[in-house]
Structures are given as structure tokens and as C-alpha cells.
């Protein structure tokens, strides 16, 4: 994953796609909490990324950044926003350095000092030369992400490219691997690392002249942009949970007009931010399949159990580790609080009873199949030729209501009466939209 944060680019891309380019420069800058100058620098940076990743685009299709996004999205078998992860938000000197290291280790193994000498002799004059600490840091990073491998033996250790798997595969096995990774990356959660693996396999096949056909065997239409973007934070938070580390971040609620603010290092230009600075002991990450959203659940020292939409997290940093006993007790408390949550609701338990109707005689009941598949721990109490009754105890009705509503006229809420009345009012409102003028 990325070596540096790119919160600003993430929020920029989210707004760009969701608003379809409806904002002007000033509106974008205001929404992001940055200046016009910073906005223009971000646009320039993202254009460079697009040009480097999608060089195959026709020239007339790449004039405007927003147009490039829309054009490629329609004709691509992958989510366009993935290019941000490919860019890795590395500084130019880091990009040059890592490229030199990987190119050298592709042929044979090297020690850290040999790679230092190679970098110093090959780096462009305008870039600063690395020292031994920098090179060892780069090697540690590349080893952590699985790109290189430290060979066994005595010091000084030697490093080489770690591509043993693909080198041992035949042409047909490579094609099968590519197709498998393609399917899994487009259908499983999380998926960014799968896309990066798929691209790595494709590049290896291209370098070795393996023909995988002019037409991709699978084509996907991607819908949940935030899911891909929020995976930038996912592995940072999962690592913090494993290490029992508290995290600090600036949070922007989805209800706020501003979704980002720049870090002001000059005290003359300090300004109030609409974000909320938070410190949290992360306990669990939850994905909402219905809306394609990630949620962070954790313990707040002042407010207890708190929930955050991951799209609002920026400037995440790790703090001190929590005692194991405290972490386990708060984790048990959270599990008890969300034991009957349809998703993450921690409200009071309520019994929901719904009558679902079969589609008709001699027709397979797709309604029953869907309820059995998606109904979680709910149970079917009774069944007749016309309908069946489904019952479940959940923490509140807010999260389960969209699921029930999605069945339309194929279901009727029997209890609680409050939920039944809410749906009656909603369907009356929908009916009014279709009344004749």
C-alpha cells in the first residue's frame, strides 16, 4: 500500500466522481478547505498520475481530468480511482530510488551498500543523493510489501526480487492465475491489493510475451467508489487493532459541508477547521455491503463506544499502545453492544416481525431464497402457500428498514407498530409522486 498519506487526493476524487464535475474551482477549494493555489497543484499532480498510468488514452480524450475519468470509466474493466493507489503518493526522489533498486535486483541479488553505491551513481543530478539509512528504510518497506526477499546467509544480507511464484508457472497457469485474481479482486472485500496483484501479473506476462487475448474474459461495472478510496485507511487501522494502538485523526462528519482541510504549518495562515480532532482505541472495522461503506468502531476515553464513517477520516497517526486487559474488556463490551445489530447500531433491542409473500403458485420463491441468504440470525416462524413470517431481534430499526423496504410489495411489516407506520407514511409519499397532475 501507499508509503505516504494522500487524504487530499482521496477527498478530491470522491467529490469529483459524486458531483460529476458540477463544482467550479472555488467551490471545490471551499469544500476541501484548501486554497485555489493548493487546488491547482492537486489537479496538476493527479493529471500527471493519469498521464503516466493511462498513456493509451487518445489525446483528444485526455484534455480535461474530469473527462479522462468519465471516458476511461465507461471503457475500463476496473475502478478508475485505483490509479491513485498505483501512484503511491511517493515523492519524486523516492520514485526514482525505488525504481533503480527494483531494476537492479531484477537481475541478481545485492547488499544494501552495493545498492547505495548504485543509487548514488545513477540518480539524476537535480535529486538529492540517499544515505545508508534511507536505502535500508527502502529495502525494509519493499520487503514488508512482498516485493523483494532477503536471502538466507550471513551478513551482509543480500536482497533480490521476490517473483518465485510466477517464474515457475507455465503460460496456461499464468492465464488461470490472472483470471482468478481478476474475479476475486472484483468480487471480494477488500480488493485494492488484488487489483495491484492482477496488474503485476499482467505486466509480467507482457514482459515475457505471454498472449492473454485482445478481449478480457470478464468485464465488471464498478459502483462503490468510496469502498476503493477508503481502503487507503483500512490496513493502517487493522494494523493498529492488532497492535492495540490508539489512533489520532481529524474527522469530518458526512453532514458537514467541508470534507478536508490542509495542514497549516505557517502560523500566519492558521484558521479554524470544521473537522473534529479525535483520539480513539480502534476495536473493529465493519463493511456495509448495501451502501459500499466502511465503518470504524472503537472506544473513546470520554464518550465510550463511538462509530465513524471511514470516508471522513483524515490525517491518521498512531499513538501509544493500550494495556491488553483494557483492550480485551472494551472489545468484549463492543461485541455485546452490537450483538443484535443489523450492522453497527447500538440502540435498544426491538423485535421485528415481517410477512413475506411468495411470488405465486408453481414459481420458485426467490423471496424466500433472498430472506434465507440475507436475513442473518432471523428465523422463519410459519409458512403457507401464500406467505411466510420472518422474525428477528435487532438493535433499533434504522439499519434493517432499507432492507425490508427493498422487497417492495412482497412484504408487510407486522411489528413493531412504529416501523409499520413509518413505512406506511413513506409509501404514501412515494404514491403522491405518481399522482396525475
Query: What is the tens place of the pLDDT at every residue in 336-361?
Result: 999 999 999 999 999 999 999 999 88
**C-alpha grid cell for residue 294?**
466502511
Nearest C-alpha neighbor of 400 from the set 356, 344, 362: 344
Q: Please indicate, yes or no, if residue 98 is contained in any of the structural domains.
A: yes
CA 112/CA 127 separation, integer angstroms: 20
Q: Which of 141-150, 176-185, 249-258 is least confident?
A: 249-258
Residues 235, 319, single domain; the answer is yes
> Nearest-CA neighbor of 293 among 394, 182, 189?
189
User: Are residues 83 and 143 both part of a single domain?
Assistant: no
pLDDT in tens, 406-417: 999 999 999 999
Quote the domain boundaries for residue 34.
Answer: 7-89
Judge if 149 and 65 occupy the same domain.
Answer: no
The number of distinct structural domains making up the chain is 5
Asked if residue 393 is part of any domain, the answer here is: yes
pLDDT of residue 79: 63
Same domain for 392 and 414, yes or no, is yes
What is the Cα Rg of the chain in Å? 26
- Asked whether residue 216 is assigned to any structural domain, the reply reads no
Q: What is the mean pLDDT of residues 144-157?
A: 86
- Residue 111, burial from CB neighbour count under 10 angstroms (0-12, 13-18, 19+): middle
Same domain, 142 and 184: no
- Would you say residue 1 lies in a domain? no
Domain harbouring 379, CATH code = 3.30.70
Q: How confident is the model at residue 264 (pLDDT cuts 50, 70, 90)?
A: low
pLDDT digits (tens, 9 = 90+) for 15-36: 777 776 677 888 888 888 888 8
Answer whether residue 24 is part of any domain.
yes
Higher per-residue confidence, 90 vs 427 = 427
Q: Is residue 224 part of a domain?
A: no
Residues β-bridged to residue 86 = none
- Alpha carbons 347 and 398: distance in angstroms, whole number: 10
101 and 132 belong to one structural domain: yes
Instruction: Name the residue among 96, 75, 89 with its Cα closest to residue 13.
Output: 89
Nearest to 87 by CA among 51, 35, 118, 114: 51
For residues 251 and 23, the answer to whether their CB atoms sit within 8 Å is no
Say whether pLDDT at 76 is over 50.
no
Top mean-pLDDT range of 30-39, 138-147, 162-171, 333-342: 333-342
Residue 392: inside a domain, yes or no?
yes
Cα–Cα distance list, 24 to 27, 182, 218 (Å): 5, 37, 37
- b/e map 49-64, b = 16+ CB within 10 Å: bbeebbeebeeeebee
What mean pLDDT do residues 109-132 have? 87
pLDDT level of residue 272 (50, 70, 90 thresholds): very low
Which of 308, 337, 366 delimits the end of a domain? 337
Whether 62 has a pLDDT exceeding 50, the answer reads no
- Please say if the pLDDT value at position 335 is more than 90: yes
Q: Are residues 11 and 83 in the same domain?
A: yes
**Which residues lie across from 300 on neighbouring strands?**
304
Same domain, 185 and 114: no
Same domain, yes or no: 254 and 333:
yes
Domain-embedded: residue 411 = yes
Which of 57, 89, 121 is the endpoint of a domain? Answer: 89
| Confidence (pLDDT) at 41 | 82
Res. 69: pLDDT tops 80: no
Is the pLDDT score of 268 beyond 70? no
What is the percent of the chain with per-residue pLDDT over 70, rounded to a whole number?
A: 82
pTM summary value: 0.79
Lowest mean per-residue pLDDT among 17-26, 59-68, 220-229, 231-240? 59-68
pLDDT of residue 88: 57
Same domain (yes/no): 240, 313: yes
For residue 261, give the C-alpha cell. 482541510
Q: What are phi and psi of 299, to 5 degrees?
A: -105, 125
Name the one residue in this structure whose C-alpha cell is 403457507: 384
pLDDT at residue 375 is higher than 90: yes
Which of 128, 162, 196 is the last residue in one of the domains? 162
Residue-level pLDDT at 292: 87
Provide the CATH number for the domain around residue 115. 1.10.10.10
* 41 and 15 share one domain: yes
Residues 40 and 109 in one domain: no
Amino acid at each position: 500500500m501507499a508509503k505516504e498519506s494522500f487524504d487530499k487526493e482521496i477527498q478530491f476524487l470522491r467529490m469529483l466522481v459524486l458531483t460529476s464535475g458540477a463544482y467550479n474551482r472555488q467551490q471545490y477549494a471551499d469544500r476541501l478547505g484548501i486554497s485555489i493555489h493548493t487546488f491547482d497543484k492537486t489537479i496538476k499532480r493527479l493529471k500527471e498520475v493519469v498521464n503516466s498510468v493511462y498513456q493509451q488514452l487518445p489525446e483528444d480524450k485526455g484534455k480535461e481530468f474530469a473527462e479522462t475519468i468519465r471516458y476511461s470509466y465507461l471503457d475500463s474493466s476496473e475502478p478508475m480511482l485505483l490509479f491513485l493507489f498505483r501512484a503511491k503518493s511517493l515523492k519524486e526522489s523516492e520514485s526514482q530510488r525505488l525504481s533503480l533498486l527494483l531494476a537492479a535486483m531484477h537481475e541478481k541479488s545485492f547488499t544494501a551498500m552495493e545498492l547505495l553505491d548504485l543509487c548514488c551513481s545513477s540518480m539524476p543530478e537535480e535529486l538529492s543523493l540517499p544515505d545508508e539509512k534511507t536505502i535500508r528504510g527502502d529495502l525494509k518497506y519493499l520487503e514488508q510489501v512482498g516485493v523483494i526477499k532477503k536471502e538466507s546467509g550471513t551478513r551482509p544480507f543480500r536482497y533480490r526480487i521476490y517473483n518465485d511464484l510466477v517464474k515457475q508457472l507455465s503460460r496456461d497457469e499464468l492465464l488461470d492465475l490472472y483470471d482468478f485474481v481478476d474475479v476475486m479482486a472484483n468480487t471480494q472485500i477488500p480488493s485494492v491489493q488484488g487489483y495491484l496483484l492482477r496488474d503485476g501479473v499482467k505486466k509480467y506476462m507482457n514482459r515475457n510475451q505471454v498472449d492473454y487475448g485482445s478481449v478480457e474474459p470478464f468485464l465488471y461495472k464498478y459502483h462503490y467508489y468510496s469502498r476503493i478510496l477508503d481502503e487507503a485507511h483500512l490496513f493502517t487501522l487493522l494494523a493498529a487493532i492488532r497492535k492495540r494502538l490508539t489512533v489520532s485523526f481529524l474527522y469530518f462528519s458526512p453532514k458537514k459541508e467541508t470534507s478536508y482541510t490542509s495542514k497549516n504549518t505557517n502560523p500566519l495562515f492558521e484558521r479554524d477547521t470544521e473537522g473534529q480532532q479525535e483520539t480513539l482505541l480502534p476495536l473493529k472495522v465493519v463493511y456495509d455491503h448495501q451502501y459500499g461503506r466502511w465503518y470504524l468502531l472503537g472506544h473513546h476515553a470520554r464518550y465510550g463506544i463511538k462509530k465513524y464513517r471511514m470516508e471522513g477520516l483524515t490525517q491518521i497517526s498512531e499513538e501509544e499502545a493500550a494495556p491488553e486487559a483494557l483492550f480485551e474488556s472494551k472489545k468484549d463490551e463492543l461485541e455485546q453492544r452490537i450483538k443484535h445489530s443489523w450492522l453497527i447500531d447500538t440502540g435498544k433491542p426491538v423485535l421485528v416481525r415481517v410477512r413475506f409473500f411468495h411470488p405465486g403458485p408453481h414459481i420458485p420463491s426467490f423471496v424466500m431464497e433472498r430472506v434465507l441468504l440475507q436475513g442473518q440470525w432471523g428465523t422463519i416462524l410459519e409458512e403457507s402457500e401464500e406467505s411466510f413470517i420472518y422474525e428477528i431481534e435487532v438493535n433499533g430499526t434504522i439499519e434493517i428498514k432499507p432492507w425490508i423496504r427493498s422487497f417492495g410489495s412482497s412484504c408487510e411489516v407486522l411489528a413493531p407498530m412504529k416501523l409499520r407506520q413509518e413505512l406506511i407514511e413513506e409509501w404514501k409519499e412515494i404514491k403522491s409522486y405518481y399522482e396525475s397532475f
